[in-house]
């Protein structure tokens, strides 16, 4: 049943109206989107017919959304509106899909009324649009946009590396954006009649190009001037590596437990060969920073070929998970799937540093037992921390005779409920109400655990998660 609150939830709002972090981002984004649209009114550029008004409104909003795609992926952590990388990438993808659809429909919507008058009239307009020299930029942008969006949708089925895809995605869309700007400022209805309005589009175009140039040419130079050094690469399970780096000048890098960075171990500090990894160590370990990395592809399978002492370039930290989110909670549950253990361990190590006495539970799931990392350290924490316990979860069948402590299967509702029950009634804690849950793992695991948490009535605002893919 669709309720008032479920509709509001869809837009990140709560009833009675409370703005959470995500709804504030959505509101900020919406306000920015309206700027050129409002300018059309202030410059007295109202269209003559309702259809033309609808069409220009859609076009102006779509073009603004196109420019806004650039700050969304530019890792602008100093601007709070664009600092939440997870939110940015999720919306970048959704908006990209809508832009593809609007671009596709754009000529159809312009020509449709002429076809409605008469087929011949429509065909005549179509031919003159295709053959007019001033339409060339628009036609190339239109075809390019459709091809680039299709490549982005099907990138996993194409035989190209993620790095190659990301670079060509950026290059293609910058070109399309410049061509589209040329198109709207030369033949767009606003541009033709109001020169001043074009200044807005060119300013947005220049800002977008500047962001790309900064990310691919200037930022790499800045990172090159403050490299880290590779200290150690050690295999910590059948599929995972622990990589440790150290800041050369022991200053200028800080992070919060739960955050991630883009790590670049190639000779060049350019933004093409970097990979996102969560920090597994805690602040007390600085200037050393460690990562737990699962062998999942062409880069992560070759970590043992890295040279101890070589330079490593670090872009970050990023990510919005942090311990401040649980400062008021009476208990904390950390849930990790596979490589998702890294940020959970960072949080756990941070809590251990503070000797946190609240009930703390770690649910740690893997397909196989030999994939569980750093068990000696985690078991030692069970003894030294005042109220910490780990629940291992293993999907593959194992000899349960000696391992009754392990939950066989995936991290499902029963498993999570069992852990919550182990917290209930301690110092009158009602676990489901008083807990903060941190969650990290691959996308399907996050979706499954979120569903289980929902069915256990854990309030949404008590759940903080990071997905291991964008």
Ligand X SMILES: Cc1cc2nc3c(=O)[nH]c(=O)nc-3n(C[C@H](O)[C@H](O)[C@H](O)COP(=O)(O)OP(=O)(O)OC[C@H]3O[C@@H](n4cnc5c(N)ncnc54)[C@H](O)[C@@H]3O)c2cc1C
Residues interacting with ligand X, by CB under 6 A? 156, 161-162, 260, 274-278, 291-294, 296-300, 339, 342, 466, 468-470
Residue 317's contacts (CB-CB under 8 Å, 6 or more residues apart) are 254, 255, 256, 259, 260, 261, 279
Q: Which is nearer to ligand X, 293 or 332 (CB)?
A: 293
Q: Which is nearer to ligand X, 181 or 281 (CB)?
A: 281
Q: How far is the CB of 160 from ligand X (least distance, A)?
A: 10
Q: How far is the CB of 76 from ligand X (least distance, A)?
A: 16
Q: Which is nearer to ligand X, 107 or 276 (CB)?
A: 276
Would you call 173 exposed, middle or buried from its count of C-beta atoms within 10 A (0-12, 13-18, 19+)? Answer: buried
Q: How far is the CB of 337 from ligand X (least distance, A)?
A: 11
**What is 40-55 written as a DSSP string?**
HHHTT---SSHHHHHH
Q: Which is nearer to ligand X, 131 or 159 (CB)?
A: 159
- Per DSSP, 235 falls in state E
User: Looking at beta carbons, which residue is closest to ligand X?
Assistant: 297
Q: Which H helix or E strand runs over 455?
A: helix 443-455
Q: How far is the CB of 146 from ligand X (least distance, A)?
A: 23
Would you call 399 exposed, middle or buried from its count of C-beta atoms within 10 A (0-12, 13-18, 19+)? Answer: exposed
Q: How far is the CB of 82 from ligand X (least distance, A)?
A: 16
Q: How far is the CB of 297 from ligand X (least distance, A)?
A: 2
In 3-state terms, what secondary structure has residue 262? strand
Residue 433's contacts (CB-CB under 8 Å, 6 or more residues apart) are 459
Q: Which is nearer to ligand X, 278 or 391 (CB)?
A: 278
**What is 113-143 written as a DSSP string?**
HHHHH-HHHHHHHHHHHHH-GGGHHHHHHHH
Q: Which is nearer to ligand X, 6 or 238 (CB)?
A: 238
Q: How far is the CB of 433 from ligand X (least distance, A)?
A: 29
Q: Which long-range contacts (CB under 8 A, 24 or more apart) does 194-198 make?
A: 194/43, 194/45, 196/43, 197/36, 197/39, 197/40, 197/43, 197/45
**What is 209-224 written as a DSSP string?**
HHHHHIIIIIHHHHHH
Classify 202 in phi/psi space as left (phi over 0), alpha (psi -120 to 50) or beta: alpha
Q: Which is nearer to ligand X, 119 or 470 (CB)?
A: 470
In 3-state terms, what secondary structure has residue 77? coil
Q: How far is the CB of 103 from ligand X (least distance, A)?
A: 25
Q: How far is the CB of 270 from ligand X (least distance, A)?
A: 12
Q: Which is nearer to ligand X, 129 or 306 (CB)?
A: 306
CA separation for the pair 50, 437 (Å, rounded): 50
**What is 301-355 written as a DSSP string?**
GGGGGSPTT-EEEEEEEE-S--GGGGTT-SEEEEEEEGGGHHHHHHHHHHHHHTT
């Amino acid at each position: 049943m669709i309720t008032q609150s479920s509709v509001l939830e869809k837009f990140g709002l709560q009833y009675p109206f409370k703005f959470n972090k995500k709804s504030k981002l959505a509101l900020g984004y919406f306000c920015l989107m309206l700027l050129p649209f409002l300018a059309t009114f202030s410059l007295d550029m109202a269209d003559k017919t309702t259809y033309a008004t609808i069409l220009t409104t859609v076009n102006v909003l779509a073009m603004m959304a196109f420019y806004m795609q650039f700050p969304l992926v530019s890792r602008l952590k100093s601007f709070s509106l664009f600092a939440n990388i997870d939110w940015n990438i999720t919306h970048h993808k959704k908006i990209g899909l809508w832009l593809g659809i609007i671009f596709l429909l754009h000529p159809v919507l312009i020509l449709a009324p002429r076809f409605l008058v008469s087929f011949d009239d429509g065909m005549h307009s179509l031919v003159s649009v295709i053959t007019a020299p001033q339409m060339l930029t628009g036609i190339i942008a239109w075809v390019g946009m459709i091809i680039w969006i299709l490549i982005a949708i099907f990138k996993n089925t194409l035989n190209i590396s993620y790095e190659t895809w990301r670079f060509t995605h950026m290059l293609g869309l910058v070109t399309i954006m410049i061509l589209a700007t040329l198109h709207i400022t030369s033949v767009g209805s606003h541009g033709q009649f109001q020169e001043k309005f074009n200044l807005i589009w060119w300013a947005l175009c220049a800002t977008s190009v500047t962001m790309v140039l900064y990310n691919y040419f200037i930022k790499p130079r800045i990172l090159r001037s403050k490299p880290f050094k590779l200290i150690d690469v050690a295999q910590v399970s059948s599929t995972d590596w622990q990589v440790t780096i150290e800041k050369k000048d022991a200053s200028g890098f800080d992070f919060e437990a739960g955050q991630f960075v883009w790590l670049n171990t190639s000779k060049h500090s350019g933004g093409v060969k970097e990979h996102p990894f969560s920090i597994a160590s805690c602040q007390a370990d600085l200037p050393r920073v460690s990562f737990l990395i699962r062998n999942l592809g062409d880069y992560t399978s070759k970590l043992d070929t890295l040279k101890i002492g070589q330079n490593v370039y670090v872009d970050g930290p990023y990510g919005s998970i942090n311990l401040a989110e649980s400062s008021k909670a009476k208990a904390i549950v950390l849930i990790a799937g596979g490589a998702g253990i890294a940020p959970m361990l960072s949080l756990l190590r941070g809590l251990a540093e503070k000797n946190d006495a609240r009930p703390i539970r770690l649910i740690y799931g893997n397909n196989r037992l030999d994939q569980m990392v750093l068990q000696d350290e985690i078991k030692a924490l069970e003894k030294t921390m005042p109220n910490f316990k780990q629940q291992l979860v293993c999907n593959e069948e194992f000899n349960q005779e000696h391992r009754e402590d392990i939950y066989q299967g995936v991290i499902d509702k029963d498993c999570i409920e069992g852990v919550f029950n182990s917290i209930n009634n301690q110092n009158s804690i009602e676990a489901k109400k008083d807990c903060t849950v941190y969650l990290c793992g691959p996308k399907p695991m996050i979706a499954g655990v979120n569903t289980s948490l929902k069915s256990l009535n854990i309030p949404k605002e008590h759940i903080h998660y990071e997905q291991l893919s964008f």
